[in-house]
Structure 1
């Protein structure tokens, strides 16, 4: 490596001849040999640190040596941002590639180590449409345009629209998943960026009473009610119900088997059997009679397997029934709340719902009937004082006396 002045210029040039690095003649932009020497030492430091990505960008003329020197000496983070902006790909095609990757069987969530569900891919696509609307250049924006300032602008824009915090968090989750894919699958330089979540309410408590459920049934097209009733009477997720095959439903045994034969499930605990109550058995029997279904055929075929179509029909039925703020997922809450009100123990509710942990089903404890409280308290007190054993003995004696008289 050497420093010299060109005959036609008064500014110094640094010439680099290193093995494994393209030959470079870089203008320092300065007439000071001392400053030019400092830039030469910066290049050596970059080489020793293994920053060949910076050296390649300098060789391609995408970075100025003076800018790299200033950032390297004063603010390495600024240098990283400069590199990301220069080498950053266009977002539109990159996001399209990511969305296509989500639908491939080889794509696994880094959180659950399971394939992504079609509904997740659909929601991520919707979130990116909203992100592109806020980006100044839309789909032509670069990856480096996703900055802290943009995130703040996006939050503010969504708040002005009256968007709930949970919906904003879903959009940020799509952004976070995309950035993770860029770093892990594409080996792209993704600057560190914190994505703090919006505050959310403790959780939706919307569920339908028996009267509201009857009103919903009356407002729902007859052919769609078996799907919606399956959600309400079994607590299945909409994706689980739409993924059922004819062989998964055994009406004789009054049992539905939820498996991963067709589509990925949310958690390992989602693989389970759920009972079919009598009202639902009649509806499903009528459904399979109207739509002949083989063991490997979808239980809910076209158009019932389309999530967007199901959501559209359900929303229309809710409007006709006069039900407000009700979603498809609230049918699952309806099942869980009525199960708790009927006195079903929380661990069994967890099993029926396919929750990964019992803590996820604890939210329904608020709906447990208080009629059991006095009896439970008496059992505990009896056990603590030893009185419960005497009570049991008295009951046994009473039963024996009745049997003897009979």
Structure 2
């Protein structure tokens, strides 16, 4: 089998067996195509001929652009190395090669960046502004952002919801979210989100649906179709601008959800489950955010802190 054929077999595997999203598979394809070009420049046309030094040289080259491609930042370079390691590991499992030359090649270290979160007052202001105005649009916008903040959902998860994924039965309010790899998790909803969602479903979704051809999507656009991720981002940013809250990104409400839960004493493993993180290590970065608050409280309250 040619290198291109082995690449395609691996991409089929991550698509079907691992259930990766189309965007993730497309990123894998770009990474592997760059790797193939690098191997070709070294006269290598078989995975069995790849050595550890080849993989290591590629990992260095993508960070500097010496392979002829764009120089990648540490996070992007690390993702490429992970793609390459996955392909070589798959090749060993399939029996194409006897050795894995990428096993000991580590991704570049990524500087830790703290997630950006906003305070509870700022969140309340953004949510309030999202619901300002008449017609079904503001009811939808408020419900959407209330759900994202109440559940920690990614915006892509929120716009991917169907009506049947939402439960508003009193005392059992919850939403079924589908995260990366289509992994499902059920997240409870608080009273504010439940009221906003009920108002939207009862009073606004029907009028929006009249303009479409019928869809099971929970959040609809003005044409009656499923609300897009880009439109949801626009809704959030517009509400933040009206509220006077700067530097709001699509992930701001999700980060704020996690930070506020941990600040309130929630166990990090519970927050991990709510966020849908595969590893608690991913969630623990939020504990760095809350340590600043702990230090401030300690400094202000302890008699011998100063």
Which TM-score band (shorter chain)? 0.5 to 0.7
Look up the SS of the partner of 2:174 in the other structure. strand
Partner of 1:275: 189
Query: Structure 1 residue 248 and structure 2 residue 165: aligned?
Result: yes
Partner of 1:23: none
- The unaligned stretches of length 5 or more in structure 2 are 132-136
CA apart distance, 1:291: 3.8
CA apart distance, 1:249: 0.9
Contact 1:233–1:277 (8 Å) recurs in 2: no
CA apart distance, 1:316: 9.6
Partner of 2:63: 155
- Which residue, 254, 269, 272 being the options, matches 1:332? 254
Partner of 2:229: 310
- Which residue, 346, 358, 365 being the options, matches 2:267? 346
Query: Structure 1 residue 96 and structure 2 residue 8: aligned?
Result: yes
Cα RMSD (Å)? 4.8
The one-character-per-residue Cα deviations of 1:77-136 (angstroms, maximum 9, x if unpaired) are xxxxxxxxxxxx4333332332223222xx14xxxxxx4455543432343355456565
- Which residue, 115, 120, 139 being the options, matches 1:205? 115
- Which residue, 339, 364, 372 being the options, matches 2:286? 364
Distance in 1, Cα, partners of 2:115 & 2:66? 24
- Which residue, 71, 89, 92 being the options, matches 1:180? 89
* Compared CA separation, residues 154 and 281, structure 1 to 2 (3 A): same
Distance in 2, Cα, partners of 1:250 & 1:316? 24
Distance in 2, Cα, partners of 1:240 & 1:97? 29
Q: Given the two structures, how large is their TM-score scaled by the length of structure 2? A: 0.63
Query: Structure 1 residue 167 and structure 2 residue 90: aligned?
Result: no
Distance in 2, Cα, partners of 1:256 & 1:145? 50
Distance in 1, Cα, partners of 2:66 & 2:173? 44
Partner of 1:286: 200
Contact 1:346–1:358 (8 Å) recurs in 2: no
Contact 1:237–1:329 (8 Å) recurs in 2: yes
Look up the SS of the partner of 1:271 in the other structure. strand
Q: Given the two structures, how large is their TM-score scaled by the length of structure 1? A: 0.50
Contact 2:7–2:87 (8 Å) recurs in 1: yes
Contact 2:272–2:280 (8 Å) recurs in 1: yes
Structural mapping, 1:201-240, within 5 Å = 201-209=111-119, 210-211=121-122, 214=126, 217=130, 226-227=143-144, 229-238=146-155, 240=157
Partner of 1:61: none
Distance in 1, Cα, partners of 2:231 & 2:2? 34
Whichever of the two has the greater Rg, that structure is 1
- The unaligned stretches of length 5 or more in structure 1 are 1-88, 109-114, 379-406
Q: Which moved more, 1:331-340 or 1:203-212?
A: 203-212
